[in-house]
Amino acid sequence: MSQPAVRDVTGLYREFGDERLPPGQREVERFPVLSMGETPDWNPETWTFDVGGAVETARSFTWDEFRDLPRETQRQDFHCVTGWSKFDCEFTGVTATTLLDTVGVASDAVHVMFHAIDGYTTDLPLDAAARDEVLFAWSYDGDDLPREHGGPLRVVTPHKYAYKGAKWVDGVTLLTEPERGYWEQRGYSVTANPWAEERYS
């Protein structure tokens, strides 16, 4: 079987700045782990991925149903707000645009909240969330996503600091008014553009 084509989105920085490495960041080779707590347990029998709120059709996906959605492999950069960036990560998963098209976004939706099984939440304006480069990813560099990096499923947000990418994600809520996620309630930026160094609000 031939390998799926990899879509290289590492050039997206040109939308935001002149340099691939955002200001105040340093490039690292290894992939550090940053979690607020322990890596949570995951039960594939009972796990569901729920999309609700301001959508046309609320949906609850089983693991198999989620994995049947159209998938894509992308080469992306990863920027942590604490100052490290990792270039050329390959993630496979479902794009946010595919997922949102599947449920249909209601006309009054303006904001998105991501939920994870460790209780983590993070939020983004709808236009920042509904992008092809936002992936709900289950694979990293050709292998299953390691549990400490958010396996079985995480979000990656190469256009934002990485706290916008919920590890162990199990749901998305479309909102008609902005609400704040875990770090956003604690002073981190809602918009989190690395090229504008939007670290805190």
Ligand X SMILES: Nc1nc2c(c(=O)[nH]1)N[C@H]1C(S)=C(S)[C@@H](COP(=O)(O)O)O[C@H]1N2
The total of other beta-carbon atoms located within 10 Å of residue 3's CB is 7
Least Å distance between CB 141 and ligand X?
12
Which amino acid type is present at position 164?
A: K
Nearer to ligand X, 111 or 164 (CB): 164
- Options 166, 172, 174, 192; binder of ligand X; rule CB under 6 A: 166
Least Å distance between CB 153 and ligand X?
10
Interface with ligand X by CB under 6 A: which range of 9-17, 21-29, 33-41, 65-73?
Answer: 33-41
129 sits in which H/E element: helix 126-129
Q: Which positions touch Mo ion (CB under 5 A)?
A: 34, 80-81, 163
Could you give the C-alpha distances from 185 to 28, 32, 109, 127, 165, in angstroms and in order?
28, 24, 21, 21, 16
| Stretch 1-30: interaction string toward ligand X, x if CB under 6 A | ------------------------------
Site for ligand X, residues 54 to 83, rule: CB under 6 A: 80
3-class DSSP string for 62-101: CHHHHHCCCCEEEEEEEECCCCEEEEEEEEEEEEHHHHHH
Nearer to ligand X, 109 or 117 (CB): 117
Binding to ligand X by residue 138, rule CB under 6 A? no
- Options 9, 89, 153, 162; binder of ligand X; rule CB under 6 A: 162
In the chain, beta strands by DSSP E: 6-8, 26-27, 49-53, 59-61, 72-79, 84-95, 111-116, 121-125, 135-140, 143-144, 154-156, 169-175
Binding to ligand X by residue 110, rule CB under 6 A? no
Interface with ligand X by CB under 6 A: which range of 51-59, 68-76, 157-165, 189-197?
Answer: 157-165
Could you give the C-alpha distances from 144 to 119, 153, 160, in angstroms and in order?
22, 9, 23
Query: Using CB under 6 A as the criterion, which residues of the chain lie in contact with ligand X when the complex forms?
Result: 32-36, 80, 116, 118, 120, 149-150, 162-163, 165-168
